[in-house]
Amino acid sequence: MNGNTLTIRVTGRDSDRVVAEDAIKVLRSAISLLEDLDRAQGAGKSTEWVIVAASMKSPLSFTIRGEAKDESVAPREYVGPMLRSLRMVDTDSRRPSNFNDRMLQSAGRLGKLLENGISAISLEAPGEETYCLTPKLKIHSEKLREQRPRHYTTKTIIEGTLERIDVHGTPEFYIYDRLTGDAVRCFCDMQDAQRLGALITRRVRVFGDVKFTREHEPVSVEVDAFEAVIDDPPSITDLHKKHISITSDRPSEEYIRDLRNG
């Protein structure tokens, strides 16, 4: 088995039986956390988790393996980092650098399962020390989430429509998300402010130190650079949604034939 393999062992309060619903919750919570780690590495999910073995003997066990959704790309390994991070939260009450609030919530949900019909949960992976969850996992996860600062800053890129410029005092401008309508305040220097006038009402891409809320919503930017965004032309699907006909309501085969003969 590869390094992206995880075996989950579950023991019920009655050593000879495990309630199916409880076992499914353990499996779902573990996969949810692995998927959170996957999403944090890029856009969307790159890995699919499949069951490769199961045992009904006490304790009940499932073995899952991460497989790349794109067969041409080697799958990233998430199992080892997850086990080490969970142990850090459980044992040391420290936030792992690769854990955001959502991951802490998933970890707490996994630890909470020890309060119900399950007496023990252990996680095993090749080359890793077996990790046995304790009730402290839930307690420490909640504590670390509460300690998280209201905001954090990271250097990244955001996009929005430029609709307001203010040069009174420190120059600043505002871009608005076209889906939510939320405004993001952008601080720049006067030289940049003079260039912004030509971009008013246009979609722009802004790069710099972006301040986010703990819910990962952008609040403000210390701007390093910006540029206009050249929108991609609308797709055929977009045109259909807007009930726009590019063939003047003529059959498409007739329209194409005329273009070829024209």
Q: How far is CA 18 from CA 62, 113, 159, 164, in A?
A: 13, 12, 50, 60
Q: How confident is the model at residue 68 (pLDDT cuts 50, 70, 90)?
A: confident
Amino acid 197 reads: G
What is the 8-class DSSP label of residue 201?
T
Ramachandran angles phi, psi of 206, nearest 5°: -115, 130
Arithmetic mean of pLDDT, 96-102: 84
Tens-digit pLDDT profile for residues 227-249? 998 765 555 554 454 454 555 55
> What residue ranges of the chain are covered by domains with CATH 2.40.50.140?
151-228
Peptide bond into 135 cis (omega under 30): no
Q: What percent of the chain has pLDDT over 70?
A: 81
Alpha helices in the chain (DSSP H): 20-39, 79-87, 101-112, 136-147, 190-196, 236-241, 252-261
CATH number of 151-228: 2.40.50.140
Whether the Cβ atoms of residue 191 and residue 133 lie closer than 8 Å to each other:
no
Cα dihedral across residues 90, 45, 75, 120: positive or negative: positive
Q: How far apart are CA 183 and CA 175, in angstroms?
A: 6
Whether the Cβ atoms of residue 34 and residue 82 lie closer than 8 Å to each other:
yes
Residue 79 token pair = 């199992």
Q: What is the pTM of this model?
A: 0.57
